[in-house]
Structure 1
Amino acid sequence: MSRRDQITMSDDEVLAFLDEERTLVCATAGPRGWPHLMPLWYVVRDGRIWAWTFAKSQKTKNLERDPRATLQVEAGETYDQLRGVMLECETVIHRDLETVSALGTEVFRRYTPGIGDGPLPDAMQAAVDQQATKRIAMEFVERRRATWDHRKLAAGVY
């Protein structure tokens, strides 16, 4: 078995990893042709990554011009602990207020300690709904993936 095969994550491992981690880096094609890298908070819906951002952001302008994005989530401080997921995606931009607001609610629920699965407090939901009028939802449709989990290697094999 090749080293690449040894460190590849299964679909279940990828979903568990994405659930554990908090921030992804989204690369889009910038206006001058250079990669434009930005961090995003995200949620996973039915195995697909979703995030929201401001409708007037550079990332949105880039995706309107070219819907391709590369996402990366990584963890680990030392080589033997490195693990990550890189996804090449086509991005679907959603602008309807209901979709954007529902996604914002999911994002706030995931990233606000103590909220859990219940409804957001009224003031927080009002803030999400107000923000949704200025934002878009991004649905990242995976086309190709690369994964790595160096913890799967025998100790000292790197």
Structure 2
Amino acid sequence: MAVGIDDNEDLTSLRVDARTQDLLLDAQRECTFAFATKDGWPAGVVMSYLYRDGAFWLTAAAGRAHVLAAQRDPRVTLVVSNAGTDLPGRRMLAVRGHVAVHTDAETKQWFYPAFAQRHAPGHPEAFRQLLDSPNRVVLEVRPVRIAVSHDSTKMPGDGRGGGTGTRPTRK
């Protein structure tokens, strides 16, 4: 049985490896930041991130729902996919982590220029100035574990039962 051709149930062999994880985190600039609301409902917001020294770094206004949730419960999940990148196939990882909310000038001093360079390389100084507002915080997510990952490039064909080549016959 070929995964992706005859079997689409056990996908454990399609997990993202360390090399692919590095490629994905470098190629992508956005993630879904998932958290629990006050009443326990799961919620998520798409955010830009900077991945540095094994942590995800993000920023938001202090009063936003996801910032307030992070202050109540530091357990979050970040979902990163290759959508919108040049990476082939469908790749994703869901990273469980603990978030710390930073308000200190020292963190903002290194973070804003690095984040602005990554997300607005043509005008990093203008973006840095925009970010440097009174109620802005920096979120640091330290991964605990990869909860789920997937790399369809490990499947034959296009990962949807077809693609290039011929379909093997079942034995």
Q: Give 1:151's aligned amino acid.
A: T
The 1-side partners of 2:144 and 2:72 are apart by: 18
SS of the counterpart of 1:136? strand
Aligned residue number for residue 71 of structure 2: 64
Q: Structure 1 stretches of 5 or more lacking a match?
A: none
Percent identity among equivalent residues? 24
Alpha-carbon contact 1:101-1:128 (below 8 Å) kept: no
1:126 aligns with 2:129: yes
Larger helix proportion of the pair: 1
Aligned residue number for residue 141 of structure 1: 142
Moved over 2 A (4+): 2-6, 123-129
Aligned residue number for residue 154 of structure 2: 152
1:1-158 alignment to 2 at 5 Å? 4-76=11-83, 81-114=89-122, 120-121=124-125, 123-129=126-132, 131=133, 133-145=134-146, 146-155=148-157, 158=161
Query: For residues 156 and 109 of structure 1, do their structure 2 counterparts lie closer, same or farther at Cα, with a shift above 3 Å needed?
Result: closer
The 1-side partners of 2:16 and 2:83 are apart by: 15
Shift of 1:124: 4.4
CA RMSD of aligned residues (A): 2.4
> 1:111-143: per-residue Cα shift (whole Å, max 9, x none)?
11435xxxx44x5443333x2x31111111111
Q: Normalising by structure 2, what TM-score?
A: 0.76
Q: Normalising by structure 1, what TM-score?
A: 0.82
Query: For residues 141 and 125 of structure 1, do their structure 2 counterparts lie closer, same or farther at Cα, with a shift above 3 Å needed?
Result: closer
Alpha-carbon contact 1:29-1:36 (below 8 Å) kept: yes
Aligned residue number for residue 167 of structure 2: none
Shift of 1:89: 0.7
SS of the counterpart of 1:62? helix
Shift of 1:156: 5.9
Please say which structure displays the higher CA radius of gyration: 2
